[in-house]
Amino acid sequence: MQEKTPPVVIDTSGADIHAENARIRERGPVAEVELPNGVRAWSITGYEAGKQALSDQRMSKDGRQHWTAFTDGEVDPTFPLIDWALMDNMNTTYGSAHSRMRALVAKRFTPRRVEAMRPTIDKIVSSLLADLAASPAGTVVDLKARYAYPLAAHVIFDVLGIAGAARDTILGDGEAQVDTTKTGEEIAASVEQGLMEMAALVEAKRGNRADDLMSDLITAQEADGSGLRDAEIVGTLSFLLGTGTETVTNLVINSIHALLTHPDQRRLISSGQASCQDAIEETFRVEAPVAHLPFRFPTEDVQLGEVTIRAGDPVLMNFAAIGRDPAVHGESADSFDITRSRKDHLSFGHGGYSCIGKALGRLEAEIAVPALFARFPDLALAVPASEIAPQSGFIMNGRSELPVLLSAPLAESA
């Protein structure tokens, strides 16, 4: 009897996500992987399989109800990714509970409201660029720390209604929660601290309402029939804070990095043969901001291609692999080509759980990336691209930093 092929063991450091995804893809568009603590899961690397899974209403994100190993008491509470399944927020609800919360949150992300934020984003970007321009000549600048991250944070703070000194403290736990090199205890402590800080902000907001999402949810909670719980509000705001900073930061940084490492593509934009929007969309495809998103759980057996995923099995959406599916993009799937006619990806999800802030994230990138290159046309990496470390962990697909020189270095004197 032929032995079953062992699963691909996921590297918790995320040191080379794309090489690892190539190994997973060799097993097919849906393949078994092993996570920390020996937890088995399915990784979806194929575009069509991903689209099917994302739109299938039998795929729940509520691990408290639908993760068989958890409900059977088989999951170690120190499993580093356990909060992705058990946190109480909009993203981990199922059915009518998810629809109710999503409808409340979506009011802040309508096309009209997103477009109305353009002047605010323009102002934030201008301020950050002015700060960069004040750097002494020849200074190495980290664009992640000084441009992409503060932009994303400022915008989502405004949407949620986080102001004052809280802005300086509450983000400290965000990146730790997606760092899969940390222990389960470390991540749990980070999650708990973040929730405590958000709960304090919600309580303070009850007596100081404003035109923001936090106030919207508090008002809805007090209205008859909303059914919103305190933990649900706090969890949802914390989830949106994390996704609004980490995902947008990676989109902006990955787009800048791609253009700096592909000068031929940058010249296409300069010559008018392509647009910065083309570059951003291609970045979504080839460098998805989120690599391996946990979790979905079938409420019954689900057939994806030739694979049957049993009810209650954990599933990860491998967005970093889906965008590079050769069945869709051919032999050049791994190449950054802003002129390609088909840039299909699922990096903002699809179906009922698609990213609620996708229009806002796209707008932030479409303002920030061209503005940076317009202000600093000689922008260049300060170190070889091979020396820039990836963001720690396998959930996100970003960079630990992006060191650049804002202007071309002066020629050495003879």
Q: Residue range 208-219: average pLDDT?
A: 96
Q: What CATH number does the domain containing 172 carry?
A: 1.10.630.10
The pLDDT, as a whole number, for residue 54 is 95
Provide the pLDDT confidence category of residue 408 given band limits of 50, 70 and 90.
low
Report the pLDDT value the prediction gives residue 411, as an integer from 0 to 100.
41
Average pLDDT of the residues in 260-275: 97
Mean pLDDT, the chain, integer: 93
Residue 183 token pair = 């222990």
How confident is the model over 3-26, as a mean pLDDT? 94
Q: Look at residues 247, 271, 257, 212 and name the one whose alpha carbon lies nearest to residue 357.
A: 247
Tokens 């919207």 appear where? 216
Tokens of 299: 């409420």
For residues 381-398, give the mean pLDDT: 97
pLDDT at 317 over 70: yes
DSSP conformation class of 26: T
Residue 4's pLDDT band (cuts 50, 70, 90): confident
* Closest among 92, 82, 32 to 183, alpha carbons compared: 82
pLDDT given at position 61? 93
Determine which of 25-29, 178-182, 377-381, 385-389 has the lowest per-residue pLDDT on average. 178-182
Note the Cα 30 to chain centre separation in Å.
21
d(CA 19, CA 321): 10
Cα distance between residue 278 and residue 395, in whole Å: 25
Strand pairing class (292-298; 380-381): unpaired
254/21 Cα distance (integer angstroms): 18
Is the model's pLDDT at 226 over the cut of 70? no
pLDDT tier, 174 (very low <50, low <70, confident <90, very high otherwise): low
Per the structure, the count of domains in the chain is 1
Q: Specify the 3-state DSSP secondary structure of 339.
A: coil
CA atoms of 117 and 263, how far apart (whole Å): 31
Beta-carbon contacts of residue 66 (< 8 Å; ≥ 6 apart): 60, 94, 297, 298, 299, 311, 312
Least confident of 55-64, 97-106, 118-127, 394-403: 97-106
Please compute the mean of the pLDDT values over residues 325-332 and round it to a whole number: 97
Q: What pLDDT is recorded for position 221?
A: 92
Residue 67 lies in a domain: yes
Q: So what's the pLDDT on residue 414?
A: 32
| CA-derived radius of gyration, the chain | 21
Q: What local confidence, expressed as pLDDT, does residue 225 receive?
A: 63
Full strand arrangement of the beta sheet holding 403-405: 140-142, 403-405, 380-381
The answer to whether residue 414 is domain-embedded is no
Alpha carbons 125 and 44: distance in angstroms, whole number: 36
Q: 101 with 232: CB under 8 angstroms? A: yes
pLDDT of 372 > 90? The answer is yes
Look at residue 94 and tell me if it is in a domain. Answer: yes
43 DSSP β-pair partners? 31, 316
Structural contact between residues 66 and 297, judged by C-beta atoms closer than 8 angstroms = yes
pLDDT tens figures, 228-251: 899 999 999 999 999 999 999 999
Share of the chain above pLDDT 90, in %: 83
Domain presence at residue 12: yes
Task: Render pLDDT for 74-85 as a digit per residue (tens, 0 to 9).
Answer: 999 999 999 998
412 φ, ψ to 5°?
-70, 140
Nearest to 30 by CA among 50, 14, 16, 11: 50
354 falls in which pLDDT band (50, 70, 90)? confident
Q: Is the pLDDT of residue 224 over 80?
A: no
Burial of 27 (0-12, 13-18, 19+ CB in 10 A): middle
Domain hosting residue 228, numbered range: 8-405
Residue 228 lies in a domain: yes
Tell me whether residue 412 is in a domain. no
Confidence of residue 177 (pLDDT cuts 50, 70, 90): confident
Is residue 96, in this structure, part of any structural domain at all?
yes
pLDDT band at 288 (very low <50, low <70, confident <90, very high): very high
Spatial distance between the Cα atoms of 10 and 288, rounded to a whole number of angstroms: 18
Give me the pLDDT at residue 1, please.
34
b/e map 177-211, b = 16+ CB within 10 Å: bbbbebebeebbebbebbbebbbebbeebeeeeee
Q: Is residue 106 situated within a structural domain?
A: yes
Cα 160–104–224 angle (5° rounding)?
A: 115
Supply the pLDDT for residue 176: 75
- For 358, counting Cβ atoms within 10 Å of its Cβ (0-12 exposed, 13-18 middle, 19+ buried), the class is middle
Both structure tokens of 133: 């321009």
Kindly report which listed range (2-6, 40-44, 91-95) carries the lowest average pLDDT score: 2-6
Q: What whole-number distance in Å separates Cα of residue 309 and Cα of residue 203?
A: 42
How would residue 147 be classed by pLDDT, with cut points 50, 70 and 90? very high
Residues 305-314: tens digit of each pLDDT: 899 999 999 9
Tokens 């392509």 map to which residue? 274
